[in-house]
């Protein structure tokens, strides 16, 4: 393993270790900006020499940017497939970039809350991740990073069309703001489809955990703005926030209703999930996601102490195949062995968990 | 006789037709049965639908874009149909006939509102101004109008100094 990569991966991370801003329903907030350099072909059309030139130009600017002083810069081609997958599972690079050849790169800050992809679909994809519901902070940070970068990079920009992007769907602000939402009650109650339809009408899109084309294992959904041109960033974020707040409310109502109509159903599901996580010897990653999802719901409902939430959120990431492989210290293990190792890790983690207390059931 | 609608993703006959209205704008997709299945259209909880419909607005009108070509990178509308992406920033100007009709259905508006790269814009306008002055200077010298030439030269020095650029006499 390369040392630069180790340096990124080993440090405590915003998503997995920041316990301060963990909250019910919203796992994390993410904003990304698409930016391109003027007078260069977009990465998809540039030849290897031009992609290389773009990478060097961007790396230079990124290295000199305040806020990225202690970041680590790696070339994707220097990483093996396992390392690439690890970065995907941590939401630091996209699946598309993980498959890139010449000139693909990423710069990641110390707590993995900022990552800048180079030569993905656009020359630059700047991303800020914050745990919990934190659009204001995420925007303030990404806005200042973008402004700092622009001191030394000539962005492709048109007064009429805004920031010019490889795909016209990102034109204008180049901004995609999203929240990772944990919506188990809406899923159990079969209301997700209605929610998806309703928010689509407002220009808001719902995707699975790993973005476009991924499934919603663990009842986790990525919800983001669809349009980028014709409205200012603040207006887009405001509307998204309002929609998200109302989704949170719907989720909480759905939980109340489930507890009211069938008081034993949720505690039963949660208790069983806990039992399996504590005792199973083989768990697939999608089963793990679904069980962890129920335990997180249990924390929200007060069956487990509040501070257990951070552990569950960390396991959402560490139960992924790439992370299991890394713990095993081997690059090639078959899926049965992986399921065994995953169960072993989960047993060990859940042995430290407090057993669920259902004392507050009477008030429900 | 009208030819049967083709699937947006392959060349089979389209039998599944979807319409969605987002922000009062109509998005349509036509699919054959197997593509519809593959894309999860028939899955009742299929949230990948929005992506599909969004991509549908990336289908360019063939007529308006025919014969266009980006002089900067050689990009042609057929390339867009393959990848859904443009070739370079210049394409947005070279291929307005392709891009503009798509934008109408894709976004809230057709004009950018929001953040602008202030420094990049300053640098560009400075660059354009200096270029214009250099051109004027050159044509004044060529026309042997030395009084004008001196004026342009002074102005170039002033502009460069004001911008903190090195003032070399080249």
* Chain A residues with beta carbon closer than 8 angstroms to that of B49: 196, 200
Decide if A230 and B124 are in contact by the 8 Å CB cutoff: no
The answer to whether residue A181 scores a pLDDT higher than 60 is yes
Tell whether the model's pLDDT for residue A201 goes beyond 90.
Answer: no
Using pLDDT thresholds of 50, 70 and 90, give the confidence band for residue B50.
low
Chain A residues closer than 8 Å to B101 by CB: none
> How far is residue B9's CA from residue B2's CA, in Å, rounded to a whole number?
20
A158 → chain B, closest CA residue: B112
CB distance A42–B116 less than 8 Å? no
Judged by CB atoms closer than 8 Å, whether chains meet at A161 and B23 is answered as no
Task: Give yes or no for residue A42 having a pLDDT over 80.
Answer: yes
B2 touches chain A (CB under 8 A): no
**Which H/E stretch holds residue B150?**
helix B146-162
Mean pLDDT of A29-48: 96
Q: Please tell me which residue of chain A has the smallest CA distance to B44.
A: A193
Q: Where does the pLDDT of residue A331 fall: very low under 50, low under 70, confident under 90, or very high at 90 and above?
A: confident
Which chain A residue shows the shortest CA-CA distance from B39? A213
Å from A37 to nearest chain B CA? 8
The mean per-residue pLDDT over the stretch A162-177 comes to: 96
| Percent of the residues in chain A that have a pLDDT greater than 90, as a whole number | 73
Residue of B nearest to A193 (CA): B45
Does position A51 have pLDDT exceeding 80, yes or no? yes
Identify the pLDDT of residue A217.
Answer: 82
* Cβ pair A199, A183 in contact under 8 A: no
Q: In A, which residues are within 8 Å of B9 by CB distance?
A: none
CB within 8 Å of A50: residues ≥ 6 apart:
A40, A41
Closest CA to A157 of A318, A17, A38, A251: A38
Q: What whole-number distance in Å separates Cα of residue B165 and Cα of residue B169?
A: 12
Is residue B23 predicted with pLDDT exceeding 70?
Answer: no
* Contact B82/A at CB under 8 A: no
**How far is the C-alpha of A66 from the C-alpha of B83, rounded, in Å?**
36
A209, A180 Cβ separation under 8 angstroms: yes
Do A200 and B50 count as a contact with CB atoms less than 8 A apart? yes
Best mutation target among B25, B29, B50 (most A Cβ atoms within 10 Å) is B50
Give the minimum alpha-carbon distance from A11 to chain B in angstroms, rounded to a whole number.
33
φ/ψ of B134, rounded to 5, equals -60, -40
Chain-centre distance of CA B121, in angstroms?
A: 18
**Residue scoring higher pLDDT (A334 or B168):** A334
For the residues A24-43, what does the mean pLDDT come to?
96
Q: Is the pLDDT of residue B45 over 50?
A: no
Query: Closest chain B residue to A165 measured between Cα atoms?
Result: B89
CB contact under 8 A, A231 and B75: no
Contact A38, B120 (CB under 8 A): yes
Q: Band of the pLDDT at A2, cuts 50, 70, 90?
A: low
Q: Nearest Cβ partner of B88 from A40, A202, A230?
A: A40
Structure tokens at B30: 């036509």
Nearest CA in chain B to A201: B22
| A interface test, pick of B29, B51, B52, B114 with most A CB neighbours within 10 Å | B114
Q: What ipTM is given for this predicted complex?
A: 0.84
| pLDDT above 70 (res A363) | no
CB contact under 8 A, B47 and A212: no
A76: left (phi over 0), alpha (psi -120 to 50) or beta: alpha
Distance to chain A for B150, nearest Cα, Å = 32
- The SS3 call for residue A307 is helix
Interface with B, mutate which of A65, A168, A225, A247 (most B CBs under 10 A)? A168
- Residues A322, A336: Cα–Cα separation, whole Å: 14
Residues in chain B closer than 8 A to A201 (CB atoms): 21-23
Q: What is the pLDDT of residue B44?
A: 45
Chain B residues with CB-CB distance to A156 below 8 A = 89
Alpha-carbon radius of gyration of chain B: 25
pLDDT in tens, A220-252: 999 999 999 999 999 999 999 999 999 999 999
Looking at the partner chain, which of B22, B49, B117 has a beta carbon nearest the beta carbon of A155?
A: B117
Residue with tokens 């139960």: A319
Disruptive mutation site among B43, B53, B115, B122 for chain A (greatest number of A CBs within 10 Å): B115
Q: List for chain A the helix, strand, coil content (%; round to 5).
A: 50, 15, 35
Q: How near does any CA of chain B get to the CA of A45, in Å?
A: 6
Q: Decide if A121 and B85 are in contact by the 8 Å CB cutoff.
A: yes
pTM value surpassing 0.90: no
Which of chain A's residues have a Cβ under 8 Å away from the Cβ of B20? 200
Q: Which two tokens stand for residue A307?
A: 């501070």
Q: What is A49-84 written as a DSSP string?
A: HHHHHHHHHHHHHHHTSTT-TT-EEEEGGGS-HHHH
Mean pLDDT of chain A: 91
- Closest approach of B106 to chain A, Cα-based (Å): 7
């Amino acid at each position: 393993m390369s040392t630069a990569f180790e340096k990124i991966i080993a440090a405590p991370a915003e998503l997995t270790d920041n316990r301060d801003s963990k909250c019910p329903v919203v796992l994390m907030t993410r904003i990304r900006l698409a930016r391109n350099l003027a007078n260069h072909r977009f990465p998809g059309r540039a030849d290897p020499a031009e992609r290389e030139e773009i990478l060097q130009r961007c790396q230079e600017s990124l290295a000199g940017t305040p806020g990225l002083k202690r970041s680590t810069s790696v070339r994707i081609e220097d990483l093996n497939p396992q390392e690439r997958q690890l970065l995907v599972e941590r939401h630091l690079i996209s699946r598309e970039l993980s498959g890139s050849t010449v000139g693909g790169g990423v710069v990641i800050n110390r707590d993995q809350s900022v990552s800048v992809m180079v030569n993905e679909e656009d020359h630059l994809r700047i991303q800020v991740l914050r745990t919990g519901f934190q659009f204001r902070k995420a925007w303030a940070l990404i806005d200042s990073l973008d402004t700092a970068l622009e001191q030394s990079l000539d962005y492709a920009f048109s007064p009429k069309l805004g920031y010019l992007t490889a795909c016209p769907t990102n034109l204008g602000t180049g901004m995609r703001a999203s929240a990772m939402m944990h919506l188990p009650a809406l899923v159990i109650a079969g209301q997700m489809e209605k929610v998806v339809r309703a928010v689509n009408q407002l220009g808001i899109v719902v995707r699975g955990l790993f973005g476009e084309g991924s499934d919603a294992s663990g009842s986790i959904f990525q919800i983001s703005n669809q349009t980028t041109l014709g409205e200012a960033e603040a207006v887009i974020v405001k509307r998204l926030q309002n929609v998200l707040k109302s989704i949170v409310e719907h989720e909480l109502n759905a939980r109340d209703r489930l507890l009211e109509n069938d008081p034993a159903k949720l505690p039963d599901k949660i208790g069983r999930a806990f039992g399996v996580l504590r005792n199973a010897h083989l768990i697939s990653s999608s089963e793990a996601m679904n069980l962890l999802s129920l335990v997180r719901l249990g924390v929200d409902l007060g069956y487990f102490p509040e501070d257990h939430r951070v552990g569950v959120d960390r396991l959402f990431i560490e139960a992924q195949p790439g992370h299991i492989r890394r713990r095993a210290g081997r690059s090639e293990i078959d899926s049965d062995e992986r399921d065994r190792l995953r169960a072993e890790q989960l047993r060990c983690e859940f042995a430290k968990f407090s057993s669920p207390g259902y004392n507050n059931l009477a008030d429900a | 006789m009208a030819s049967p609608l083709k699937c947006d993703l392959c060349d089979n006959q389209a039998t599944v037709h979807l319409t969605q209205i987002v922000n009062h704008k109509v998005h349509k997709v036509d699919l054959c049965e197997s593509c519809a299945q593959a894309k999860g259209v028939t899955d009742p909880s299929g949230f990948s639908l929005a992506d599909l419909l969004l991509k549908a607005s990336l289908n360019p009108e063939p007529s308006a874009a025919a014969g266009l070509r980006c002089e900067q990178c050689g990009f042609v509308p057929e390339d867009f149909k393959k990848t859904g992406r443009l070739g370079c920033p210049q394409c947005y100007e070279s291929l307005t006939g392709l891009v503009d009709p798509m934008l109408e259905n894709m976004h809230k508006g057709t004009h950018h509102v929001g953040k602008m790269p202030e420094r990049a814009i300053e640098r560009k306008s400075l660059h354009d101004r200096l270029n214009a002055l250099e051109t004027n200077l050159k044509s004044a010298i060529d026309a042997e109008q030395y009084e004008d030439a001196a004026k342009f030269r002074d102005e170039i020095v002033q502009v460069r100094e004001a911008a903190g650029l090195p003032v070399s006499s080249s």
